[in-house]
A and B are shown apart, each in its own frame.
Chain A
Amino acid sequence: MEKDIKLTIVHNDEEVVLEVPNDMGLNLMEFLNANDYEQIEGTCGGLALCATCHVRVLECSPSLDEQSDDEFAILETLPVIYDNSRLSCQIKLNKKLKDIKILIP
Chain B
Amino acid sequence: MIETDIAIIGAGPVGLFAIFETGLLKLRCHLVDYLPQAGGQLSEIYPKKPIYDIPGFPTVGAQELVDNLLKQAEPFKPSYTFGERIETLTKNGEKDFVLSTHLGTTIHAKVIVIAGGLGCFEPRKPEVINLDKYENGKGVSYMILDPEKYRGKKVVLAGGGDSALDWAIFLADIAAEVTLVHRSESFRAAPHSVNTALKLAEEKKITVLLNSNLQEVFGVDNLDIVTVLNTKTNEIQKIDADNLIPLFGLSPKLGPIGNWGLNIEKNAIEVNTDDYSTNIPGIYAIGDINTYKNKLKLILCGFHEAALMAHSAYKYINPEAKYTMKYTTVSGVSAF
Q: Which of these binds chain B: A25-33, A77-85, A89-97?
A: A77-85
Query: Could you say which of B188, B247, B248 has the most chain A C-beta atoms within 10 Å of its C-beta?
Result: B188
Given A78-B248, A79-B125: A43 in contact with B45 (beta carbons within 8 A): yes
B131 → chain A, closest Cβ, in Å? Answer: 11
Question: Does chain B have a CB within 8 A of A52?
Answer: yes
Whether B46 lies near A80 (C-beta < 8 A) is no
Quick one: CB contact mask for A32-66 with B, threshold 8 Å, 1 for yes? Answer: 00000000010110010111100000000000000
Given A43-B118, A72-B188, A73-B189: A78 in contact with B249 (beta carbons within 8 A): yes
Quick one: CB contact mask for B227-267 with A, threshold 8 Å, 1 for yes? Answer: 00000000000000000001111011000000000000000
Whether A73 lies near B188 (C-beta < 8 A) is yes
> In the complex, what residues of A have CB within 8 A of residue B246's CB?
79
A52 → chain B, closest Cβ, in Å? Answer: 5
Question: Does chain B have a CB within 8 A of A76?
Answer: yes
Residue in chain A with minimal CB distance to B124: A79
Residue in chain B with minimal CB distance to A52: B251
User: A-B contact count, CB below 8 Å?
Assistant: 52
Whether A50 lies near B251 (C-beta < 8 A) is yes
B187 → chain A, closest Cβ, in Å? Answer: 8
Interface residue tally of chain B, by bracket? 20 to 34
Bound-complex Cα distance A102 to B124 (A) = 22
Which one, B41, B126, B161, B251, contacts A76 given CB within 8 A?
B161
Whether B45 lies near A44 (C-beta < 8 A) is yes
Whether B49 lies near A47 (C-beta < 8 A) is yes
Question: Does chain B have a CB within 8 A of A13?
Answer: no
Question: Does chain A have a CB within 8 A of B90?
Answer: no
A101 → chain B, closest Cβ, in Å? Answer: 25
> In the complex, what residues of A have CB within 8 A of residue B39's CB?
none
Question: Does chain B have a CB within 8 A of A69?
Answer: yes
Within 8 A of A (CB), among B106-132: 118, 124-127
Question: Does chain A have a CB within 8 A of B160?
Answer: yes
Bound-complex Cα distance A14 to B45 (A) = 32
Given A77-B159, A79-B126: A44 in contact with B248 (beta carbons within 8 A): no
A interface list, Cβ under 8 A from B: 41, 43-44, 47, 49-52, 69, 72-74, 76-81
B interface list, Cβ under 8 A from A: 41, 45-46, 49, 118, 124-127, 159-161, 163, 183-184, 187-189, 246-249, 251-252
- Supply 5 A–B pairs (Cβ within 8 Å), ascending by A: A43-B45, A43-B118, A77-B159, A77-B163, A78-B248
